[in-house]
Amino acid sequence: MRSPAYIGRPRITIRQLFLFILLALLALSQLFPLVWLFNYSLQKSGDLFGKEIFKLPDVPQWQNYIRAWRDGRIMQYLTNSVIVVAFSILLIMIFSFMLAYACTRMKWKLRNIVYGFVLMGMVIPIHTTLLPNFIWFKNFSLIDTRAGVIIPYIAFNMAFSVLLFRGFLASIPYAMEESAYLDGASARIILMRIIAPMAKTGFVTVGITAFLNCWNEFIMANTFLSSEVKRTLPFSIIRFQGQYASDYAVQFACMVIVAIIPIIIYFLFSKWIIAGVTAGSVKG
Amino acid sequence: MNSILSSKRLITILILPGLLVMVFAILAPILLSLYYSMTDWSGFGPMEFIGLANYGEVLANDPTFWRSLYNALMLLLVTVFIQNVFAFMIAAILVNLSDRLSNFLRTVFFIPAILTVVVITKLWVNIMNPNYGLLNKLLEGLHLDFLVHNWLSDPRTALGSIIFITIWHGFGWALLFYYSGLTTVPKELKEAARVDGANLFQTHLSVVIPYMAPVIQAVIIIDITSCLKQMEIVMLATEGGPGNSTQFIAYHLYEQAFRFSKYGYGNAISVLFVIIALSITLMAQRLLASDNTR
C-alpha cells in the first residue's frame, strides 16, 4: 500500500475489480454446489426436475432430514465412525510422537534408516495393500473387525504424523531435557511432563490431520468391513442410494448430514490445519 | 544424560509400536503381494505357482493397465499445469489482502477439501445428471444447448469430468500449501526486486518462484502420488467406464481381484503399482532437487 496511487482517497482500479470478480467467482464455484445440495435437500424430490437453475423451497421439508437420519441409520454408522476414528487418532498421536522423539532427539546408529522407512509410508498407496491384507488379515481374524481398519489407519498415518512431530520437536531447546535428566527424572516423566506439553500444537495438528484422513477414508472400510452393523458413516449415503434410488431429496439430506461433521470440526480447528501444513511443507 | 538419550532400551520402546504396525499393515502385505502375484489363484481353492507369467500378461496383454497409466498421467498434467498454477496465483493474491479477508476466503476455498470423497463424488454425479443436474440446466440457461449431454457416460467427456471433480476436490490443499509457503517469502526480497524496477509479475517470476522452489517441489511430489492413487471417485462415479475410458490403476487391480476373481493377477498389478509409485517419486525428487541447486 506504499505506492503513490493508493495515497489519499482509496480508489478501485480495474485490476482490483478484476481480482475481486475472480475471487468471487472462485468462491462461488467452491461453495455453490454445496449450497445447491443443501437447498434441494429441503424440497420434494420432484422439485429437482424443474426448469430453473436454482429455486428456494416453498415450504422447507425438514422431515427429509428425519427420514435420512432414521432410514439412513445415521446413528449406527456415526457411532461406528466415532469408535474407529477415536481409537485411530489416539494411537496415531502416541505412536508417532514416540517415534518422532526417538528419530529427532535421540542418537543411534540406525536412526536415518528407520526414519527413511517410516517416510516411505507416505509414498506407498493404500490401495496396494488392499488385496494382500484381505488374505493376510484373515489369518488374524481381523477381517470385518474394527481393529482390522484401525491398524492400517495407524500404519498409513505414521509417515505424515512423524514428519509433523519432527518439525515441532526440533524447535524445543535441548536444555529442557538436559536439566531434567541431570535431576534424575525418568524418561517416561520427561516425555510426558516436559516434552509432550511443549509439543502441544503438534498433537493438535497431528490429531486433526489424522481425523480428516480417517473420518473420510472409504476404500479400506469398504473392503474390510463387510457387516452392515460395523460400517462407517460414508456408507449411509451408499446404502441409502441403493434403497431409495428415486428419493433424491432425502439422499441429499443424508449427504448434508455426513458433510456437516467435518465442517464443524474444521471451523473449530482450522488454525491448526494451517499450522500443520506450514510445519509439514516448509520445515519438513 | 547422554546415556539416556542413546539408551538402546528406551529407543526400542519408543520406536517399536509404530514400526510394528507399519511392518504388519504395509511391509508384510506388500511382500505377500509379491508372492501371490506369482500364482494363478482366485482367492479361494487351489493355487498354482506360475512364476512371472502374470507380469508378462499385464505388461504385454492388458490395454486397461496402460490406459489407466495414461489416465493418471492426464490427471497429473491437469493437476500440475492448471490446478497448481491457478492455486499459486490465488495464493499470491491472498497474501496481499488484509488478514481478515484472506482468512475468510481461505476458509471458504478449503471447505470442499475436508469433505469425504463419497459426498463429493455423489454431489457431482448429481450435478452432472442428465435429467435433473445443475450443470446441464446452467448450460441451457447460458444458451449453450449444444454442450448439454450426459457428461459421465459419454466417452469423450467422462475422463475430463472425473479429472474436474478430482481437481475441484483437491484445490483447497494446493492453495493452502502455496499460501503457507508464500507467507515465508521475506518482504525484503520482494521489495528489493521492486526497487530494481520489476513489476508484480516480474517480481514473482524472478524472486518469489525461485524462493518457493522447495514448496513447489513438495506439492508436485504429493500430486504425483495422489494422481496415481486416484480410485474412489472413479469407483463411485463411473466404475471405470464407459468402456475403459476412466480406468485408474488402483480400481483396475481392485476389479480384477474382487469382481473377476483374478486374485493373483490383481496382485501383480498391485506390485507394479508399488514399483511405479516408488520409482516415479524418487525420480521426481532427484530431478526437482537437482533443479534447485542451480
Q: Which is nearest to A225 in space by CA: A144, A121, A120, A142?
A: A144
User: Which of A20, A44, A62 is the endpoint of a domain?
Assistant: A62
Q: Do A181 and A210 lie in a common domain?
A: yes
Q: Tell me the CATH number for domain B41-185+231-249.
A: 1.10.3720.10
The amino acid that residue B95 corresponds to is V
Residues A50 and A84 in one domain: no
What pLDDT was estimated at residue B70? Answer: 95
SS3 B232: helix
Q: Which residues contact B105 (CB under 8 A, 6 or more apart)?
A: A23, A27, B94, B97
Say if residue A45 is in the same domain as residue A79. no
Residue spans of chain B under pLDDT 50: 1, 293-294
Asked if A144 and A51 sit in the same domain, the reply is no
Q: Are residues A172 and A130 part of one domain? A: yes
N- to C-terminal Cα separation, chain A: 33
Residues A35 and A92 in one domain: no
Contact B71, B246 (CB under 8 A): yes
Note whether A29 and A79 are same-domain residues: no
Measured CA to CA, the distance from residue B170 to residue B201 in angstroms comes to 26
Q: Are residues A94 and A57 in the same domain?
A: no
pLDDT score, position B103? 86
Residue where a domain terminates, one of A46, A62, A78 = A62
- Contact between residue B170 and residue B113 where contact means Cβ atoms under 8 Å apart: yes
Which chain B residues are closer than 8 Å to A255 by Cβ? 119, 122-123
* B144 interface with A at CB cutoff 8 Å: no
| Residues B280 and B228 sit within 8 Å (Cβ to Cβ) | yes
Nearest to A136 among B28, B43, B137 (CB): B28
Which residue from A minimizes the CA distance to B12? A102
Q: Which residue matches cell numbers 526437482?
A: B288
From the CA atom positions of chain A, what is the Rg in Å?
Answer: 24
Interface contact flag, A108 B111, Cβ < 8 Å: no
Which structural domain, as residue segments, surrounds residue A95?
Answer: 66-283
- Of B111, B123, B219, which has the smallest distance from its Cβ to A255's Cβ? B123
Among the listed residues B39, B102, B46, the one whose alpha carbon sits nearest the alpha carbon of residue B271: B39
To the nearest whole angstrom, how far is the Cα of A44 from the nearest Cα of chain B?
A: 13
Nearest CA in chain A to B183: A278
Which of the residues B9, B13, B15, B135 would you substitute to probe the A interface, choosing the one with the greatest number of A C-beta atoms within 10 Å?
Answer: B15
CB contact under 8 A, B278 and A123: yes
Contact A132 B36 (CB under 8 A): yes
Q: Are residues A150 and A31 in the same domain?
A: no
- One-letter identity of residue B34: L
pLDDT at A127: 92
Q: How many C-alpha atoms does A11 have within 13 Å on its Cβ side? A: 9
Among residues B71, B101, B115, B18, the alpha carbon closest in space to that of B243 is found at: B71
CB-nearest partner of B17 from A98, A106, A273: A98
- In chain A, how many domains are there? 2
**Nearest CA-CA partner of A135 in B49, B32, B40, B268:** B32
Look at residue A280 in the predicted model and tell me its pLDDT: 56
- Report pLDDT for B85: 94
Q: Are A78 and A55 in the same domain?
A: no
Q: Which residue do the cell numbers 444458451 mark?
A: B143
ipTM for the predicted complex: 0.89
- Residue B292's pLDDT is 52
**Domain boundaries of chain B, sorted by first residue:** 41-185+231-249
Residue A22 CB-half CA count within 13 A = 13
pLDDT tens for each residue of chain A, 284 residues long: 444 444 445 567 888 888 889 999 999 999 999 999 999 999 888 888 877 778 888 888 898 899 889 888 899 999 999 999 999 999 999 999 999 999 998 888 999 999 999 998 888 999 999 999 999 999 999 999 999 999 999 999 999 999 989 888 888 888 878 888 888 888 888 888 888 988 888 898 899 889 989 998 999 999 999 888 999 998 888 888 777 777 888 899 999 999 999 999 888 887 777 766 666 554 43
- pLDDT at position A117: 93
pLDDT at A186: 83
Residues A37 and A150 placed together within one structural domain of the fold:
no
Same domain, A201 and A130: yes
Q: 3-state DSSP call for residue B109?
A: helix
